[in-house]
């Protein structure tokens, strides 16, 4: 069974939707820990050195997204651009089944990308069709890439204070359903980050727009030798695509 799972992970790979990885996690650990390459004259948007180096690496990789995937991302970018042109606050709710992995990654990286490109006002949220917990593997991966995640309680569904910039207030992250009171109840753009939630929620109550940008679940690698690498690559993919979307929005407003 373990062998079959590993074979499946290898077979689908990141390339299944046209993404080129920014490198493997062990190499990136070395790169991110080396702050000597930071240019003192380069703005850092309040990022830590680790976050700055990771952002620099993904912002140079935007053309690695294939044309078919760009069409899906362009739809989301156009929805955001339309809302901004109407001078309205853009509220994005990223939705997957359990709100444990992909939707959190998408919420947090979209917040980083919006800040990086100066696109505002934008608020990002996440939720699921059911609540579980912010998976500890996702938490570990995001820490490795530069986020600061501090647990606020010791419950099974731990709440985290998430900081990515000294210029942006902390985000509270925990698993919840998409219509949880802490999320927008109307006028938001629903962004489906998994195919199951996309199929289960053809209509998202309260959403003004709905876009689907599904990602392969890194859960497929859980408890295998490829676990850390798979989470790292999926988060890097989500980050890269968030930066693509907000760079496009920046150019359209």
Residue among 196, 185, 169 nearest 93 (CA): 185
SS3 call for 61: coil
What is the per-residue pLDDT for 202?
Answer: 75
pLDDT tens profile 48-98: 999 999 999 999 989 899 999 999 999 999 999 999 999 789 999 999 999
Residue among 237, 199, 201 nearest 217 (CA): 237
What is the per-residue pLDDT for 243?
Answer: 98
Give residue limits of the domains in the chain: 2-34+48-252
pLDDT tens profile 186-201: 999 999 999 887 777 7
List, for the chain, all residue ranges whose pLDDT scores fall below the cut of 50: 1-3, 6-22, 27-28, 30-38, 40
CB atoms closer than 10 angstroms to residue 28? 20
What is the per-residue pLDDT for 23?
Answer: 52
Write down the pTM of the prediction: 0.87
What is the per-residue pLDDT for 28?
Answer: 44
CATH of 2-34+48-252, one of 3.30.70.980, 3.40.50.2300, 1.10.3720.10, 3.20.20.70: 3.40.50.2300
Q: Is residue 18 packed enough to be buried (19+ CB in 10 Å), middle (13-18) or exposed (0-12)? A: middle
The answer to whether the CB of 190 falls within 8 A of the CB of 207 is yes
What is the per-residue pLDDT for 30?
Answer: 44
E-state strands within the chain: 90-96, 122-128, 148-151, 160-163, 171-173, 188-192, 207-212
């Amino acid at each position: 069974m373990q062998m079959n799972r590993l074979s499946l992970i290898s077979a689908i790979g990141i390339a299944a939707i046209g993404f080129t990885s920014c490198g493997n996690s062990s190499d990136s650990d070395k790169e991110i820990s080396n702050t000597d390459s930071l240019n003192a004259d380069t703005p850092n948007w309040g990022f830590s050195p680790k976050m700055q180096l990771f952002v620099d690496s993904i912002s140079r990789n935007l053309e690695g997204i294939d044309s078919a995937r760009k069409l899906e991302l362009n739809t989301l970018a156009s929805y955001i651009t339309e809302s901004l042109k109407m001078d309205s606050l853009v509220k994005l709710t990223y939705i997957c089944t359990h709100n444990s992995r992909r939707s959190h990654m998408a919420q947090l990286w979209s917040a980083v990308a919006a800040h990086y490109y100066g696109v505002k006002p934008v608020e990002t949220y996440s939720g699921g069709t059911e609540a579980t917990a912010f998976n500890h593997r996702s938490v570990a991966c995001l820490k490795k890439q530069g986020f600061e995640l501090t647990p606020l309680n010791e419950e099974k569904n731990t709440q985290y204070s998430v900081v990515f910039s000294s210029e942006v207030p902390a985000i509270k992250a925990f698993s919840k359903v998409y219509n949880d009171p802490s999320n927008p109840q109307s006028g938001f753009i629903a962004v489906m980050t998994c195919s199951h939630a996309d199929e289960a929620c053809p209509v998202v109550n309260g959403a003004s727009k709905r876009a689907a940008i599904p990602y392969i679940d890194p859960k497929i690698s859980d408890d295998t030798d490829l676990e850390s690498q798979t989470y790292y690559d999926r988060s890097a993919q989500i980050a890269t695509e968030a930066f693509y979307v907000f760079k496009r929005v920046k150019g359209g407003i």
